[in-house]
Structure 1
């Protein structure tokens, strides 16, 4: 299992919309996350900075393939069409990233 942490901005005028979307995540998206071996997915919001911190555990054996499956899914692309306009990716993210991945430096079971 891999623990994944990531950070992303949310546009100030879209915070309420982003919260509404995630208060009722579509069942197809939840099922897709499970199929792609993602568990314990949580997104935290820090206001007034409007930073989103995402955490999940990956339980699969081919992360790249599972992420490609997720990105190619038509329902997920539709979901992203609502979420992406709310988001403000960090300028310092790595090339090819939307959410900026974070390095784990501590964990306690």
Structure 2
């Protein structure tokens, strides 16, 4: 099992909408993410900076960040693009984070 952490950027004032959209996560997107071995996936928000912090566990080599070529993911990116900082292809601006401490 591996852990993967990253940060993204939410546009100001979009916390409630971001939460709503994830509370209504598409079943086909959830199934796709789980099919790669991703589990125990959380996203936290630092409201002072609008930085989203994601962390997920992986059974296997893929993370949710490796699914960008899938049409379901591309549709989700387009759906989320109005409330997040994105790249030209609508993917969220995502910065991987290095683990510097882990207490088992």
Q: If the TM-score is normalised by the length of the shorter chain, which range does it land in?
A: 0.7 to 0.9
Query: Partners of 1:24 and 1:10 in 2: how far apart?
Result: 18
Q: Within the alignment, does 1:100 sit opposite 2:95 as a pair?
A: yes
Query: Partners of 1:26 and 1:76 in 2: how far apart?
Result: 10
5+ long unaligned stretches in structure 1 = 90-96
**More helix, by proportion:** 1
Match of 2:82 in 1: 85
Q: Structure 1 segments of 4 or more deviating over 2 A?
A: 13-16
| Secondary structure in 2 matching 1:52 | strand
Question: How many residue pairs end up in the alignment?
Answer: 98
5+ long unaligned stretches in structure 2 = 87-91
Deviates more, 1:34-43 or 1:9-18: 9-18
Match of 1:36 in 2: 36
| Pairwise CA RMSD | 2.1
